[in-house]
Amino acid sequence: MNKGINLISLEARKIAKEQKVKGKVKSASFVFVGVFIVMACLVIGFVIILNQKFKNNGKKITALENQIKALEKNESYLVTIADRVRHVNSILESRKAYANSMQDLEKIYVEDLNITGLDFGAKGDMKIEGRCAGVACLTELNNKVEEIKAENKYKEIVFETVNRTVDGRYFINLDFKK
């Protein structure tokens, strides 16, 4: 077995090892302190910048709030408009179609027809009771009913009853269903 001969004395080797450890400790401490200083500077710098930004933002918010307060009148008008429009829409949606019923009643009116009873339903239904003087009146009434039927405004239009009297008059019951 080949064994090398170390000519450096044990003391000198110990000193060299000690020096190496000392160097490492020293370097580590320099690195730690250096990194710490850099980090501390960055952190403190950030804190200062963010605080400044927080203060500036606070000032901006106050300025904007004041600007909005100065325009409070416009906002109150707008809030009123939005609120009233909502109510207006709900009223308009709840309206019943009486005006249309009146128009249709006018459309079917024929000479020699006497309306004796009338009822308007909320959804636009209409019931008419009447008396036709003769067959010509009844035919004309039927033609006008057909015209309204063609407009498809009603689901069905029904002659509920048609009664002829001995004197040639016709009593009718007409039902317009929506």
Residues within the interface to another protein (CB under 8 A): 22, 25-26, 28-30, 32-33, 35-36, 39-40, 43-44, 46-47, 50-51, 53-54, 57-58, 60-61, 64-65, 67-69, 71-85, 87-92, 94-96, 98-99, 102-103, 105-106, 109, 111-112, 114-120, 122
* Closer residue to another protein in complex, CB, 59/149: 59
| CA dist., res. 26 & res. 32, Å (int) | 10
Q: How many Å from the N-terminal Cα to the C-terminal Cα in the chain?
A: 118
* Closer residue to another protein in complex, CB, 2/9: 9
What DSSP character marks residue 128? E
What DSSP character marks residue 172? E
In this structure, how many other beta carbons lie within 10 angstroms of the beta carbon of residue 57? 10
Instruction: Please check whether residue 125 is in contact with residue 100, taking contact to mean a CB–CB distance below 8 angstroms.
Output: no
CA atoms within 13 Å, Cβ hemisphere of 20: 6
State in angstroms the smallest separation of the CB of 106 from another protein: 7
State in angstroms the smallest separation of the CB of 61 from another protein: 6
Residues 6+ apart with CB under 8 A from 130: 113, 114, 115, 116, 117, 141, 171, 172, 174
* Closer residue to another protein in complex, CB, 99/158: 99
- What one-letter code names the amino acid at 87? H
State in angstroms the smallest separation of the CB of 1 from another protein: 34
State in angstroms the smallest separation of the CB of 90 from another protein: 7
* Closer residue to another protein in complex, CB, 43/158: 43
* Closer residue to another protein in complex, CB, 5/111: 111
State in angstroms the smallest separation of the CB of 74 from another protein: 5
